[in-house]
């Protein structure tokens, strides 16, 4: 069946042949955004991941309305935020009821913010005073990390805390999830400890003790420091992947400017997906600032969908 170019980029319902039984054809359906996958195939980005279909197998396709947004439960958000925090371990991680006060020498907002989920075991004003005291103790700015639109977000904002607009990496962040898909690319090395080349591309040189603690947990939880070397031995592209329970947490995806748009990011993500499955992971999770539209587009093309958003709040000026 001929597929109109007008449908590329649209959400479609597509039926295609998958074989036959007892002389009768068998069909399957895919619903999602349609894109081209070469001259002889198309790709449908479904909720369960990308579906590749030979054009010759398509028997029907039509445009359908956008899917209604599905909001995850607070329980699901809490679990995913907790897993992500475990995959990005702060140097100090102190419980305050269900909250987690974290510090790592100022390296990244995630490792230097109070993770506000659930009941802190005291009134909110007192809990925020504890956040301030903890930050002062560890010489970091007072900051909390809270899911946008949650009851905890509203409770902190009601105390006058405001968006951390000075946070250079982005004060509002999307948490994306996707199915683990792909096989290892032979160019990708998957050592369980970072090489000097990996540190150089990630940080520009050797890590501080706090950076090493956050990025290199020493095998617990299992972590891979994948890289693609260039002809000079330096890392051309790299990624960090950590398995926590049934999720593969992906971070530190870097590709040098001269090597971009060559499929290296896709090769890295596919390779760590295969590695993560070997450790029992079923899903991938990553965080990307809302302001980073390029990265969000890349992950969307690869089948990642937004689970929820969080933001950083700080005390009001003065």
The pLDDT > 90 percentage for the chain reads 76
Q: Examine the pLDDT at 243 and tell me if it is beyond 90.
A: yes
CATH class, range 5-63: mainly beta
Residues 6+ apart with CB under 8 A from 273: 180, 181, 182, 248, 284
What are the boundaries of each domain within the chain?
5-63, 74-171, 181-281
Q: Examine the pLDDT at 31 and tell me if it is beyond 90.
A: yes
> CA end-to-end span of the chain, whole Å?
66
Identical topology for domains 5-63 and 181-281: no
Q: What's the confidence (pLDDT) of residue 68? A: 65
Cβ-contact 284, 178 below 8 angstroms: yes
Q: What's the confidence (pLDDT) of residue 300? A: 87
pLDDT in tens, 103-117: 999 999 999 999 999
Cβ-contact 227, 189 below 8 angstroms: yes
Q: What's the confidence (pLDDT) of residue 191? A: 93
- Write down the H helix ranges in 88-191: 124-137, 151-157
Angstrom distances, CA of residue 246 to CA of 128, 233, 249, 258, 283: 32, 34, 10, 35, 7
Q: Which CATH superfamily is domain 181-281 in?
A: Gcn5-related N-acetyltransferase (GNAT) (3.40.630.30)
Q: How confident is the model at residue 143 (pLDDT cuts 50, 70, 90)?
A: very high
Q: How confident is the model at residue 184 (pLDDT cuts 50, 70, 90)?
A: confident
> How many CA atoms are closer than 13 Å to the CA of 266, on its beta-carbon side?
11
Angstrom distances, CA of residue 69 to CA of 66, 194, 308: 9, 39, 11
Tell me the mean pLDDT in the region 162-178.
Answer: 94
Query: What residues form DSSP beta bridges with 116?
Result: none
pLDDT in tens, 80-96: 999 999 999 999 999 99
């Amino acid at each position: 069946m001929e597929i109109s170019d007008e449908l590329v980029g649209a959400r479609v319902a597509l039926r295609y042949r998958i074989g036959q039984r007892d002389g009768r054809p068998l069909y399957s359906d895919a619903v999602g955004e349609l894109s081209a996958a070469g001259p002889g195939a198309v790709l449908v980005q479904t909720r369960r991941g990308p579906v590749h279909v030979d054009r010759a197998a398509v028997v029907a396709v039509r445009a359908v309305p956008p899917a209604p947004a599905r909001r995850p439960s607070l329980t699901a958000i809490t679990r995913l935020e907790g897993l992500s925090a475990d995959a990005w371990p702060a140097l100090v991680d102190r419980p305050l009821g269900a909250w987690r006060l974290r510090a790592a020498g100022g390296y990244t907002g995630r490792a230097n913010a109070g993770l506000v989920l659930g009941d802190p075991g005291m009134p909110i004003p007192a809990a925020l005073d504890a956040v301030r005291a903890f930050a002062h103790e560890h010489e970091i700015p007072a900051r909390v990390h809270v899911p946008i639109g949650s009851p905890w977000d509203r409770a902190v904002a009601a105390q006058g805390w405001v968006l951390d607009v000075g946070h250079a990496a982005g004060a509002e962040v999307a948490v994306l999830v996707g199915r683990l898909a792909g096989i290892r690319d032979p160019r990708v090395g998957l050592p369980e400890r970072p090489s000097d080349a990996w540190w150089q591309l990630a940080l520009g040189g050797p890590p501080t003790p706090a950076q090493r603690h956050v990025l290199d947990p020493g095998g617990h939880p299992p972590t891979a420091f994948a890289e693609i070397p260039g002809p000079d031995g330096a890392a051309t592209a790299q990624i960090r992947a950590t398995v926590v329970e049934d999720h593969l947490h992906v971070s530190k995806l870097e590709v040098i400017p001269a090597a971009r748009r060559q499929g290296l990011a896709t090769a890295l993500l596919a390779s760590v997906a295969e590695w993560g499955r070997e450790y029992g992971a079923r899903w991938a999770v990553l965080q990307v600032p809302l302001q980073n539209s390029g990265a969000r587009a890349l992950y969307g093309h690869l089948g990642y969908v937004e689970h929820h958003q969080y933001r950083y709040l700080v005390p009001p000026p003065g």
